[in-house]
Amino acid sequence: MAVLSGLEPKKVFEYFEILCSVPHGSGNTKQISDLCVRLARELGLRCRQDEVNNVVIWKDASPGFEDAAPVILQGHIDMVCVKTDGCPKDMAAEGLDLVTDGTWVWADRTSLGGDDGIAVAMILAILADDSLPHPPLEAVFTVDEEVGMDGAFALDCSDLKGKKLVNLDSEEEGVFTVSCAGGVRLDCLLPVETAPLDGEIPYAVTLSGLLGGHSGAEIDKGRASANQTMVRTLYSAAERIPGLRLNDIRGGRFDNVICSVNQAVIAVPADQTENFTSFIREFDAILKNEYAGCDDGITLDCQPSGPIETALTPDSTVGVLRTLLAVPQGVQAMNVDFPGLVQTSLNMGVMCLEPDGLHFSLSIRSCIASQKAMLLQRVKAILTLGGGSWTERGNYPGWQYARQSALREDILAAYKAVTGKDGRIEATHGGLECGLFLEKIPGLDAVSAGPELHDIHSPAERLSVASTQRVYQMVREFLAHSKS
> Which DSSP symbol is given to 359?
E
461 given a catalytic annotation: no
Q: Under 8 Å CB-to-CB from 218, ≥6 apart: which residues?
A: 258
What are the E-state strand segments in 155-227? 164-167, 175-180, 182-190, 194-196, 201-208, 213-214
Q: Under 8 Å CB-to-CB from 211, ≥6 apart: which residues?
A: 221, 223, 258, 260, 294, 295, 297
| Region of 116-124, 349-357, 434-442, 469-477 interacting with Zn ion (CB under 5 A) | 116-124
Q: Does 150 bind Zn ion (CB under 5 A)?
A: no
Q: Which of 14, 17, 145, 248 is catalytic?
A: 145
Q: Which of 14, 17, 78, 200 is catalytic?
A: 78
145 given a catalytic annotation: yes
Q: Under 8 Å CB-to-CB from 437, ≥6 apart: which residues?
A: 72, 74, 152, 157, 165, 167, 444, 446
CA angle 278, 284, 289 (to 5 degrees): 135
Q: Does 169 bind Zn ion (CB under 5 A)?
A: yes
| Region of 81-89, 112-120, 388-396, 466-474 interacting with Zn ion (CB under 5 A) | 112-120
Q: How far is the CB of 194 from Zn ion (least distance, A)?
A: 45
Q: How far is the CB of 450 from Zn ion (least distance, A)?
A: 8
Closer to Zn ion by CB, 111 or 272: give it.
111
Closer to Zn ion by CB, 169 or 255: give it.
169
Closer to Zn ion by CB, 75 or 269: give it.
75
Q: How far is the CB of 438 from Zn ion (least distance, A)?
A: 17
Residue 363's nearest CA partner among 333, 395, 340 is 395
Q: Does 115 bind Zn ion (CB under 5 A)?
A: yes
Interface with Zn ion (CB under 5 A), residue from 78, 116, 150, 173: 116
| Region of 169-177, 239-247, 252-260, 321-329 interacting with Zn ion (CB under 5 A) | 169-177
Closer to Zn ion by CB, 175 or 334: give it.
175
| Alpha carbon distances (Å) from 166 to 73, 246, 411 | 5, 52, 9
- Helix and strand numbers (H, E) in the chain are 11, 25
| Region of 115-123, 150-158, 293-301, 446-454 interacting with Zn ion (CB under 5 A) | 115-123
CA distance from start to end of the chain = 41
Rounded Cα–Cα distance for residues 294 and 465 (Å): 37
Catalytic residues: 78, 145
Residues near Zn ion (CB under 5 A): 115-116, 169
